[in-house]
Amino acid sequence: MLDQELCYTTNGCLQRHKVGPTLRAKMIDWMVEVLHAYKQEDQTFFLSVSILDRYFQCKATEQVPTDLHLTGVACMFIASKYEDYRPLKMQDLFKNICKEAYSIE
């Protein structure tokens, strides 16, 4: 497990993007609130953050802060499909979450 963890490390995943650690921290706080409000599993949160970091690490083109919210929503949606008995629905995400698209900046 340690070898796999070292292989998939996400240190420095924000270096080539305009999304800094402060915005990432705000996004993660927001993800905690949303997943708690929808009564999702704790593991969904951890997987969401992992997907978010791995996305930014692998993305070759520069990402801007306006991309962060939509990327975070997509990460929560994907993680919920893996971890939750009652996963998030796209309709709920669109109605209740995406209308706040630029409120974290």
Would you list the domain boundaries of the chain?
12-100
Q: How far is it, in rounded angstroms, from Cα 57 to Cα 51?
A: 10
Give per-residue pLDDT as tens, 59-96.
Answer: 767 777 777 888 888 999 999 999 888 888 888 777 76
Q: How far is it, in rounded angstroms, from Cα 60 to Cα 79?
A: 22
Give per-residue pLDDT as tens, 12-63.
Answer: 565 565 677 788 888 889 999 989 988 999 999 999 988 888 887 777 677 7
Residues 20, 21, 24: CA angle, nearest 5 degrees: 90
CATH class of the domain comprising 12-100:
mainly alpha
pTM: 0.76
- Give alpha helix (H) positions in 1-105: 2-7, 21-37, 42-58, 65-83, 90-92
